[in-house]
Structure 1
Amino acid sequence: MEIGTMLSMLGQGFGVTLQIFFLTLVGSLPLGVVVALARMSRVKPIAWIMKFYISVMRGTPLMLQMFFIYFAPYYIFGIPLSMESKFSATIVAFIINYAAYFAEIYRSGIQSIPRGQYEAAEVLGYSRLQTFMKIVLPQVIKRILPAMGNEIITLVKDTSLAFAIGVAEMFSTAKALVASQVSMLPFVFAAVFYWVFNFVVEVVLGRVEKKMGYYHD
């Protein structure tokens, strides 16, 4: 097989990898905020439920969560499995898994803000929402960016786990090419794809951190 054809096939797999990556971020970043706020709720049952959810998501393998979400509809409700359900199960598993990790990062950032800032905002007539959006959130974002960056980079590599339930992302494609061509070259190309993608993510996150630099502790 020509290298150009090989790269084209890997490129198609990389397109699926990008879909998993971006859909996970779009779903897990806002969900993580909701989970974090619920985790800090004064309503104890809500806080306990969220604490249990986070514990389960962080305490069990992502691959196992994918298998459960993919096979549960069939074994519980008799819903036939399909390629579409494989991709949907992957996205759902990634979103709920990463939301748990992001939630704990958000929570640590929110709790790091001195209580005096909330009291000062209240004296100035800010509502709770205005205080959070205009005063707390910008500082939280700056403080959690390094930890968020680590998780986002981990997400890039974790997309390869989708091969476990047959989603044709880049690693699956590389693995199939290695088997059919009896060559390690597809793995080398895939590694370059992942590295370049992670490098781009690092550059983007670095620029965001630099722009947030005007929020000093």
Structure 2
Amino acid sequence: MSLPSDFFGRIVFILQNYGPSFLKGAGKTMAIAIVGTLIGCIIGFAVGIIQTIPVQKSDNPVKRYLLKLVKFILNIYVEVFRGTPMMVQAMFIFYGSSVLFGINMSIVFAAYFIVSINTGAYMAETVRGGILSIDPGQTEGAKAIGMTHFQTMVNVIMPQALRNIMPQIGNNLIINIKDTCVLSVIGVVELFYATKGVAGAYYTYFEAFGITMIIYFILTFTCSRILRHWEKKMDGPDSYDLATTDTLAYTSGMVKFPDPKEKEDK
């Protein structure tokens, strides 16, 4: 079957013949982005909580220096993965793991691993900022009733910090959907890689990548709307009544104190 000469005819031709390739690539892209973001969030929460553990002079010297060493290593991890492109990380990890350690990663495992640790580095700073944004008095109050740092984080700080960092979690997901295209350098058959194959078959680069651009937009826009709806659910209703049985809460506007001037007139 010959390629149509008009633009929209070529678009229809590509979709009819290579539609499954686009769908398969989009599915792989979403799988890597979602799983990588979820694992990255777990890594980020763990690193962020460790980075906010206070170091006091009264602590055991071994514990104090060990904690400083762990924080130093985690800071190196965060700075390296935030300061280098994911494409370079993909090449270094996928090929370097074989050369340096003799580990032959599968392409699929490498894709999930690279996106996860890259996202974890960004999320670590996001979580740390979210934790520090909470009023320190709440941490002091939790410690005053005997909570450990871990209990304070889980039960008091993180539920509040989570709402503050939800937009950044959504932003990381959208970034990962787009940035999975760099994994094509190690042979991951995601949306961008599939599009290159389709475009090269008939040299229809403009039409093929036009379709891909629309698919990327649909994926990111849909995820953005879903996450925005989730944020509103976490906020609760816009208007609410304060439920209380304490009559003192209703004294405002109900009790009128006598005016001294009125007493003098009488």
For residue 60 of structure 1, give the secondary structure of its aligned residue in structure 2.
Answer: coil
Gaps of 5+ in 1: none
Which AA in structure 1 matches 2:47?
V
Counterpart mapping for 1:121-136 below 5 A: 121-124=142-145, 126=147, 128-136=149-157
Deviation readout 1:120-178 (Å, 9 max, x if unpaired): 23445555444322321121011112222222211110011111111111111111111
The separation in 1 between residues aligned to 2:224 and 2:168, in whole angstroms, is 12
Counterpart among 60, 74, 78 of residue 54 in structure 1? 78
CA contact (8 A) 1:6 1:186 kept: no
The structure that has the greater radius of gyration is 2
For residue 162 of structure 1, give the secondary structure of its aligned residue in structure 2.
Answer: helix
CA contact (8 A) 1:139 1:215 kept: no
Identity %: 31
Count of residue correspondences:
213
Partner of 1:76: 100
The separation in 2 between residues aligned to 1:200 and 1:44, in whole angstroms, is 42
Change (3 A) 1:128 1:76: closer
Partner of 1:8: 20
Change (3 A) 1:119 1:214: farther
For residue 106 of structure 2, give the secondary structure of its aligned residue in structure 1.
Answer: helix
CA contact (8 A) 1:28 1:96 kept: yes
When normalised by structure 2's length, the TM-score is 0.74
From the two aligned structures, give the one with the greater helix fraction: 1
Which AA in structure 2 matches 1:193?
I
CA contact (8 A) 1:142 1:215 kept: no
The separation in 1 between residues aligned to 2:168 and 2:153, in whole angstroms, is 20
CA contact (8 A) 1:63 1:161 kept: yes
Which AA in structure 1 matches 2:74?
M
The separation in 2 between residues aligned to 1:40 and 1:116, in whole angstroms, is 15
CA contact (8 A) 2:48 2:128 kept: yes
Partner of 1:173: 194
For residue 168 of structure 1, give the secondary structure of its aligned residue in structure 2.
Answer: coil
For residue 113 of structure 1, give the secondary structure of its aligned residue in structure 2.
Answer: coil
Deviation readout 1:82-137 (Å, 9 max, x if unpaired): xx622222221111111000010000000111111122234455554443223211
Partner of 1:197: 219
Matched, 1:188 2:200: no
The separation in 1 between residues aligned to 2:195 and 2:113, in whole angstroms, is 24
Partner of 2:109: 88
* Greater CA drift, 201-210 or 41-50: 41-50
Partner of 1:110: 131
RMSD (CA atoms): 2.2
**1:212, distance to aligned residue in structure 2 (A):** 1.8
CA contact (8 A) 2:49 2:153 kept: no
**1:200, distance to aligned residue in structure 2 (A):** 1.2
The separation in 2 between residues aligned to 1:206 and 1:79, in whole angstroms, is 41
Gaps of 5+ in 2: 4-12, 56-66, 239-266
The separation in 2 between residues aligned to 1:93 and 1:208, in whole angstroms, is 27
The separation in 1 between residues aligned to 2:136 and 2:175, in whole angstroms, is 33
Counterpart among 97, 100, 120 of residue 99 in structure 1? 120
Deviation readout 1:52-106 (Å, 9 max, x if unpaired): 11110011111111111111233224555xxx62222222111111100001000
Partner of 1:206: 228
When normalised by structure 1's length, the TM-score is 0.89
Which AA in structure 2 matches 1:46?
V
CA contact (8 A) 1:160 1:170 kept: yes
Change (3 A) 1:77 1:129: closer
The separation in 2 between residues aligned to 1:177 and 1:96, in whole angstroms, is 31
